[in-house]
Amino acid sequence: MSRPQLAIFDGPDDLAAAAAQLVSRLAASAIDQSGQFTMALAGGSTPQRTYARLARGQADERLDWTKTWLFFGDERWVDPRDDRSNYKMVRQSLLLPAAVPKDRVFPVPTSLATVQACAQAYANTLSHFFGTASDRMPVLDFVLLGLGDDGHTASLFPGAAALNVTDTSATSSPPGTLPPSVDRVTLTFAAINAARDVVFLVSGANKATAFADVWLERATRGQRPAIGVRPAQGNVTWLVDRAAAGDIGAQL
Ligand code: 6PG
Protein backbone atom coordinates (compact mmCIF):
# COMPACT_ATOMS: atom_id res chain seq x y z
CA MET A 1 0.00 0.00 0.00
CA SER A 2 1.25 3.48 -0.78
CA ARG A 3 1.08 6.09 1.99
CA PRO A 4 -2.51 7.34 2.56
CA GLN A 5 -3.13 10.76 1.02
CA LEU A 6 -5.00 13.51 2.85
CA ALA A 7 -6.76 16.51 1.38
CA ILE A 8 -8.62 19.04 3.52
CA PHE A 9 -11.47 21.23 2.26
CA ASP A 10 -13.19 24.29 3.67
CA GLY A 11 -16.64 22.77 3.89
CA PRO A 12 -19.05 20.09 2.70
CA ASP A 13 -19.57 21.60 -0.76
CA ASP A 14 -15.85 21.75 -1.61
CA LEU A 15 -15.53 18.25 -0.20
CA ALA A 16 -18.33 16.94 -2.40
CA ALA A 17 -16.91 18.62 -5.50
CA ALA A 18 -13.47 17.11 -4.86
CA ALA A 19 -14.98 13.66 -4.27
CA ALA A 20 -17.09 13.80 -7.42
CA GLN A 21 -14.05 14.89 -9.47
CA LEU A 22 -11.89 12.14 -8.01
CA VAL A 23 -14.51 9.45 -8.71
CA SER A 24 -14.90 10.75 -12.24
CA ARG A 25 -11.12 10.77 -12.85
CA LEU A 26 -10.55 7.28 -11.45
CA ALA A 27 -13.54 5.96 -13.39
CA ALA A 28 -12.15 7.34 -16.66
CA SER A 29 -8.79 5.75 -15.97
CA ALA A 30 -10.33 2.35 -15.03
CA ILE A 31 -12.43 2.43 -18.20
CA ASP A 32 -9.34 3.27 -20.28
CA GLN A 33 -7.51 0.31 -18.81
CA SER A 34 -10.20 -2.36 -18.52
CA GLY A 35 -13.33 -1.07 -20.23
CA GLN A 36 -15.35 -0.86 -17.02
CA PHE A 37 -15.54 0.86 -13.63
CA THR A 38 -16.78 -0.94 -10.52
CA MET A 39 -17.55 1.09 -7.42
CA ALA A 40 -18.89 0.32 -3.93
CA LEU A 41 -20.96 3.18 -2.53
CA ALA A 42 -20.99 4.43 1.06
CA GLY A 43 -24.17 4.95 3.03
CA GLY A 44 -24.94 7.53 5.68
CA SER A 45 -25.47 11.22 5.03
CA THR A 46 -22.05 12.60 4.04
CA PRO A 47 -21.88 11.20 0.48
CA GLN A 48 -25.28 12.54 -0.59
CA ARG A 49 -23.89 15.82 -1.95
CA THR A 50 -21.27 13.89 -3.90
CA TYR A 51 -23.91 11.58 -5.37
CA ALA A 52 -26.04 14.58 -6.30
CA ARG A 53 -23.09 16.11 -8.16
CA LEU A 54 -22.37 12.85 -9.98
CA ALA A 55 -26.06 12.68 -10.90
CA ARG A 56 -25.89 16.21 -12.39
CA GLY A 57 -22.82 15.02 -14.29
CA GLN A 58 -21.31 18.40 -15.10
CA ALA A 59 -17.92 18.75 -16.83
CA ASP A 60 -15.38 16.89 -14.69
CA GLU A 61 -17.94 15.25 -12.37
CA ARG A 62 -19.48 12.70 -14.67
CA LEU A 63 -19.65 8.92 -14.95
CA ASP A 64 -20.17 6.85 -18.08
CA TRP A 65 -23.22 4.81 -17.11
CA THR A 66 -22.72 2.39 -19.98
CA LYS A 67 -19.48 1.20 -18.38
CA THR A 68 -20.07 1.74 -14.64
CA TRP A 69 -21.36 -0.86 -12.16
CA LEU A 70 -22.43 0.13 -8.66
CA PHE A 71 -22.24 -1.99 -5.51
CA PHE A 72 -22.75 -1.16 -1.84
CA GLY A 73 -20.14 -1.11 0.91
CA ASP A 74 -22.81 -1.77 3.49
CA GLU A 75 -26.54 -1.86 4.01
CA ARG A 76 -28.94 -1.70 6.91
CA TRP A 77 -31.24 -4.76 7.18
CA VAL A 78 -34.44 -2.86 6.41
CA ASP A 79 -36.88 -2.66 3.53
CA PRO A 80 -35.47 -0.66 0.58
CA ARG A 81 -38.34 1.83 1.05
CA ASP A 82 -37.39 2.44 4.69
CA ASP A 83 -35.79 5.84 5.36
CA ARG A 84 -32.85 4.06 7.02
CA SER A 85 -32.01 2.16 3.83
CA ASN A 86 -28.73 3.09 2.17
CA TYR A 87 -30.21 1.92 -1.12
CA LYS A 88 -33.08 4.39 -0.70
CA MET A 89 -30.65 7.23 -0.09
CA VAL A 90 -28.56 6.28 -3.14
CA ARG A 91 -31.68 5.83 -5.27
CA GLN A 92 -32.92 9.31 -4.40
CA SER A 93 -29.61 11.15 -4.63
CA LEU A 94 -28.03 9.35 -7.59
CA LEU A 95 -29.91 6.57 -9.35
CA LEU A 96 -33.18 8.38 -10.07
CA PRO A 97 -31.79 11.82 -10.95
CA ALA A 98 -29.11 10.30 -13.21
CA ALA A 99 -31.54 7.72 -14.66
CA VAL A 100 -28.98 4.99 -13.99
CA PRO A 101 -30.07 1.78 -15.78
CA LYS A 102 -31.26 -0.83 -13.25
CA ASP A 103 -28.87 -3.49 -14.51
CA ARG A 104 -25.91 -1.31 -13.49
CA VAL A 105 -26.76 -1.49 -9.79
CA PHE A 106 -26.30 -4.34 -7.33
CA PRO A 107 -28.15 -3.52 -4.10
CA VAL A 108 -27.67 -5.70 -1.02
CA PRO A 109 -30.74 -7.95 -0.73
CA THR A 110 -32.64 -7.38 2.51
CA SER A 111 -35.74 -9.51 2.01
CA LEU A 112 -34.26 -12.93 2.83
CA ALA A 113 -35.19 -14.66 6.10
CA THR A 114 -31.99 -13.76 7.97
CA VAL A 115 -29.37 -11.05 7.74
CA GLN A 116 -26.75 -13.80 7.41
CA ALA A 117 -28.54 -15.11 4.32
CA CYS A 118 -28.54 -11.59 2.87
CA ALA A 119 -24.79 -11.27 3.44
CA GLN A 120 -24.15 -14.67 1.86
CA ALA A 121 -26.29 -13.75 -1.13
CA TYR A 122 -24.34 -10.52 -1.59
CA ALA A 123 -21.00 -12.36 -1.38
CA ASN A 124 -22.35 -14.68 -4.09
CA THR A 125 -23.39 -11.72 -6.22
CA LEU A 126 -19.88 -10.28 -5.98
CA SER A 127 -18.21 -13.65 -6.76
CA HIS A 128 -20.48 -14.10 -9.75
CA PHE A 129 -19.94 -10.60 -11.16
CA PHE A 130 -16.17 -10.64 -10.68
CA GLY A 131 -15.77 -14.31 -11.59
CA THR A 132 -13.92 -15.08 -8.36
CA ALA A 133 -14.08 -18.28 -6.29
CA SER A 134 -16.12 -17.80 -3.12
CA ASP A 135 -13.02 -17.57 -0.91
CA ARG A 136 -11.19 -15.14 -3.24
CA MET A 137 -11.84 -11.43 -3.03
CA PRO A 138 -13.36 -9.39 -5.85
CA VAL A 139 -11.14 -6.50 -6.90
CA LEU A 140 -13.32 -3.39 -6.99
CA ASP A 141 -11.89 -0.37 -8.75
CA PHE A 142 -13.16 1.99 -6.10
CA VAL A 143 -14.64 1.77 -2.59
CA LEU A 144 -16.13 4.91 -1.08
CA LEU A 145 -16.28 4.87 2.72
CA GLY A 146 -17.51 7.09 5.52
CA LEU A 147 -16.27 7.35 9.08
CA GLY A 148 -18.49 7.17 12.14
CA ASP A 149 -17.65 9.21 15.22
CA ASP A 150 -16.83 5.90 16.93
CA GLY A 151 -14.31 5.11 14.17
CA HIS A 152 -16.46 2.57 12.33
CA THR A 153 -16.46 2.37 8.58
CA ALA A 154 -18.90 0.57 6.27
CA SER A 155 -20.69 -1.49 8.97
CA LEU A 156 -17.47 -2.62 10.65
CA PHE A 157 -18.09 -1.53 14.23
CA PRO A 158 -15.69 -1.37 17.20
CA GLY A 159 -15.29 -4.77 18.82
CA ALA A 160 -17.57 -6.57 16.33
CA ALA A 161 -16.94 -10.15 15.19
CA ALA A 162 -17.27 -8.93 11.57
CA LEU A 163 -13.85 -7.27 11.93
CA ASN A 164 -12.22 -10.71 11.94
CA VAL A 165 -14.02 -12.28 8.99
CA THR A 166 -11.47 -13.08 6.30
CA ASP A 167 -13.00 -15.83 4.19
CA THR A 168 -15.82 -13.99 2.47
CA SER A 169 -16.37 -10.60 0.85
CA ALA A 170 -19.61 -9.75 2.71
CA THR A 171 -20.80 -10.58 6.19
CA SER A 172 -23.51 -9.64 8.66
CA SER A 173 -23.08 -7.52 11.75
CA PRO A 174 -25.35 -6.76 14.69
CA PRO A 175 -26.17 -3.08 15.32
CA GLY A 176 -23.27 -0.90 16.45
CA THR A 177 -23.50 1.68 19.19
CA LEU A 178 -24.51 4.46 16.79
CA PRO A 179 -28.00 4.73 15.26
CA PRO A 180 -29.79 3.36 13.36
CA SER A 181 -29.89 0.31 15.60
CA VAL A 182 -30.49 -2.37 12.98
CA ASP A 183 -28.58 -5.43 11.76
CA ARG A 184 -26.27 -4.75 8.83
CA VAL A 185 -24.57 -6.36 5.87
CA THR A 186 -21.06 -5.11 5.24
CA LEU A 187 -18.09 -5.69 3.00
CA THR A 188 -15.30 -7.28 5.02
CA PHE A 189 -11.83 -5.84 5.43
CA ALA A 190 -10.68 -8.60 3.06
CA ALA A 191 -12.90 -7.21 0.28
CA ILE A 192 -12.19 -3.54 1.00
CA ASN A 193 -8.46 -4.19 1.15
CA ALA A 194 -8.49 -5.92 -2.23
CA ALA A 195 -9.75 -2.73 -3.93
CA ARG A 196 -7.64 -0.55 -6.22
CA ASP A 197 -8.71 2.76 -4.67
CA VAL A 198 -10.39 3.46 -1.35
CA VAL A 199 -11.61 6.95 -0.54
CA PHE A 200 -12.86 8.14 2.83
CA LEU A 201 -15.25 11.07 2.84
CA VAL A 202 -15.44 12.71 6.25
CA SER A 203 -17.33 15.81 7.32
CA GLY A 204 -18.17 17.50 10.61
CA ALA A 205 -16.53 18.33 13.93
CA ASN A 206 -18.05 15.26 15.61
CA LYS A 207 -15.65 13.12 13.53
CA ALA A 208 -12.47 14.98 14.54
CA THR A 209 -11.37 12.68 17.37
CA ALA A 210 -12.04 9.47 15.44
CA PHE A 211 -10.33 10.89 12.36
CA ALA A 212 -7.22 11.90 14.34
CA ASP A 213 -7.07 8.47 16.01
CA VAL A 214 -7.20 6.74 12.65
CA TRP A 215 -4.88 9.11 10.79
CA LEU A 216 -2.27 9.01 13.56
CA GLU A 217 -2.88 5.28 14.11
CA ARG A 218 -3.20 5.94 17.83
CA ALA A 219 -5.81 3.21 18.44
CA THR A 220 -6.28 -0.44 17.56
CA ARG A 221 -8.37 -1.75 14.70
CA GLY A 222 -10.78 -3.15 17.28
CA GLN A 223 -11.24 0.33 18.78
CA ARG A 224 -11.27 2.36 15.55
CA PRO A 225 -12.07 -0.07 12.74
CA ALA A 226 -11.18 2.38 9.95
CA ILE A 227 -7.54 1.73 10.91
CA GLY A 228 -8.00 -1.72 9.34
CA VAL A 229 -8.43 -0.24 5.86
CA ARG A 230 -5.06 -0.93 4.23
CA PRO A 231 -5.43 -2.12 0.66
CA ALA A 232 -2.63 -4.54 -0.18
CA GLN A 233 -2.03 -3.10 -3.65
CA GLY A 234 -4.32 -0.10 -3.65
CA ASN A 235 -4.41 3.55 -2.61
CA VAL A 236 -6.21 5.22 0.27
CA THR A 237 -7.26 8.85 -0.01
CA TRP A 238 -8.88 10.82 2.79
CA LEU A 239 -11.07 13.74 1.75
CA VAL A 240 -11.90 15.59 4.93
CA ASP A 241 -13.47 18.94 5.69
CA ARG A 242 -11.78 21.41 8.01
CA ALA A 243 -14.18 20.67 10.88
CA ALA A 244 -13.45 16.94 10.79
CA ALA A 245 -9.72 17.50 10.26
CA GLY A 246 -9.55 19.42 13.56
CA ASP A 247 -6.02 19.55 14.97
CA ILE A 248 -4.60 17.47 12.12
CA GLY A 249 -5.65 20.21 9.71
CA ALA A 250 -4.04 22.87 11.89
CA GLN A 251 -0.74 20.95 11.84
CA LEU A 252 -0.50 20.77 8.03
C1 6PG B 1 -23.90 3.32 7.22
C2 6PG B 1 -22.56 3.61 6.70
C3 6PG B 1 -21.55 4.15 7.66
C4 6PG B 1 -21.40 5.64 7.41
C5 6PG B 1 -20.81 6.32 8.62
C6 6PG B 1 -20.77 7.82 8.45
O7 6PG B 1 -24.65 2.64 6.58
O8 6PG B 1 -24.21 3.79 8.33
O9 6PG B 1 -22.20 3.32 5.46
O10 6PG B 1 -20.32 3.53 7.66
O11 6PG B 1 -20.58 5.86 6.30
O12 6PG B 1 -21.61 6.02 9.73
O13 6PG B 1 -22.09 8.25 8.28
P14 6PG B 1 -22.46 9.77 8.08
O15 6PG B 1 -21.95 10.18 6.77
O16 6PG B 1 -23.97 9.77 8.13
O17 6PG B 1 -21.84 10.51 9.22
Ligand 1 pocket, residues with Cβ under 6 angstroms: 42-46, 74, 76, 86, 146-148, 152-155
Mutate to test the pocket of ligand 1, among 110, 147, 203 (most ligand atoms within 8 A of CB): 147
pLDDT one-digit tens code per residue, 138-183: 999 999 999 999 999 999 999 999 999 999 999 999 988 888 899 9
Residues 207-246: pLDDT tens digits?
A: 999 999 999 999 999 999 999 999 999 999 999 999 999 9
**Averaged confidence pLDDT in the chain:** 96
Give 101's Cβ-side CA count (13 Å radius).
9
33 CA to middle of ligand 1, Å? Answer: 31
For 184-211, letters b (16+ CB in 10 Å) and e give: bbbbbbbbbbbbbbbbbbbbbeebbbbb
Over residues 15-62, the pLDDT tens digits come to: 999 999 999 999 999 999 999 999 999 999 999 999 999 999 998 999
Which residue has a Cα nearest atom 15 of ligand 1?
A: 46
Protein residue whose Cα sits closest to atom 10 of ligand 1 = 154
CA of 155 to the centre of ligand 1 (A): 8
Q: pLDDT digit string (tens) for 118-141?
A: 999 999 999 999 999 877 899 999
